[in-house]
Amino acid sequence: MSKTDKVDLYKEHKAEYVASVKAPALVEVSPARYLTVAGRGEPGDGAFTAAVAALYGAAFTIKMSRKFAGLRAASPRQAGKGDYKVCGLEGLWWGEGEGEFFNQPRQTWYWKLLIRTPDSITAADLKQAKAALAKRGKGPECQEVKLETIKEGLCVQMLHAGPYATEPQTISLMRQFAEGNGLTFHGLHHEIYLSDPRRVAPQRVRTILRIPVRRQKAGR
């Protein structure tokens, strides 16, 4: 299979991943298929790290299965098989009640880690991947991975430059932008990770921040 045959979801949905560090913008996000795993606690702790490993384990196991199925098929595209680029890590974050999650103790944060995947990936693909991972002796976290379709619709989006701890400043700009356009936040805080914080200095970390919005109710 040639490189041009490899599905690249970032290229196919390029408009959904455009973000500027200078100003927030509105973006219409189409329903998207994700591999997901959820948990609670300090980002970067043992449970979080294990969840990341489980998610990537499932993603690459499915990718390789589809790749070789495509090579065996007479018409990979028609069969819905074939190779594709595994997307990067994303995450949804929230806390208890209605308060901003980042103002709450980090060990109480809820998170759902995501890897976007082609729509052609099925529950059967994931089941097969889980069986393969279990056979290789991978951790029980792999069995917690799910396949979900997430519908966000209209969102405010902005590129955050710098450490995660300074994200509230960017979120404040996004909120002001939303309210100035007659919109209010309505959905979970979504992060799209463009940098690996283990390999990049904190000031060079880049993260797309995305929050769904809706029209403000009359009288507000």
Which domains are present in the chain? 1-31+153-220 (3.20.80.10), 32-150 (3.20.80.10)
118-131-52 Cα angle (round to 5): 60
Distance CA 23, CA 54 (A): 35
Position 148 pLDDT exceeds 90: yes
Burial class of residue 37, CB neighbours in 10 A (0-12, 13-18, 19+): buried
For all residues of the chain together, what is the average pLDDT?
Answer: 90
Distance CA 175, CA 48 (A): 28
Residues 6+ apart with CB under 8 A from 122: 147
Determine the longest span between alpha carbons in the chain, in angstroms. Answer: 61
Which pLDDT score is estimated for 218? 63
Q: Which helix (H) or strand (E) holds 110?
A: strand 110-116
Q: Percent of the chain having pLDDT more than 70?
A: 90
Which pLDDT score is estimated for 77? 47
Q: Give the model's confidence band at 6: pLDDT under 50 very low, under 70 low, under 90 confident, else very high.
A: confident
Position 1 pLDDT exceeds 80: no
Residues 6+ apart with CB under 8 A from 213: 26, 154, 155, 156, 178, 183, 184, 185, 186, 187
Position 3 pLDDT exceeds 70: no
Position 5 pLDDT exceeds 90: no
b or e along 89-107 (b: 16 or more beta carbons within 10 Å of the residue's beta carbon)?
A: bbbbbbbeeeeebeeeeee
Which pLDDT score is estimated for 79? 45
pLDDT digits (tens, 9 = 90+) for 168-204: 999 999 999 999 999 999 999 999 999 988 899 999 9
Comparing 8-22, 23-37, 67-81, which segment has the lowest mean pLDDT?
67-81
126-94-108 Cα angle (round to 5): 100
DSSP state of 31: P
Q: Give the model's confidence band at 99: pLDDT under 50 very low, under 70 low, under 90 confident, else very high.
A: confident
pLDDT digits (tens, 9 = 90+) for 38-80: 999 999 899 999 999 999 999 999 999 887 765 554 444 444 4
Yes or no: say if 89 and 35 are a contact pair by the CB < 8 Å rule: no
Q: Give the model's confidence band at 217: pLDDT under 50 very low, under 70 low, under 90 confident, else very high.
A: confident
Give the relative orientation of helices 123-135 and 46-72 as an angle to the nearest 10 degrees: 110
pLDDT digits (tens, 9 = 90+) for 102-132: 999 999 999 999 999 999 999 999 999 999 9
Beta bridge partners of 214: 184
Please state whether the predicted TM-score (pTM) of the whole model is above 0.85: yes
Distance CA 201, CA 31 (A): 33
DSSP state of 216: P
Which pLDDT score is estimated for 81? 55
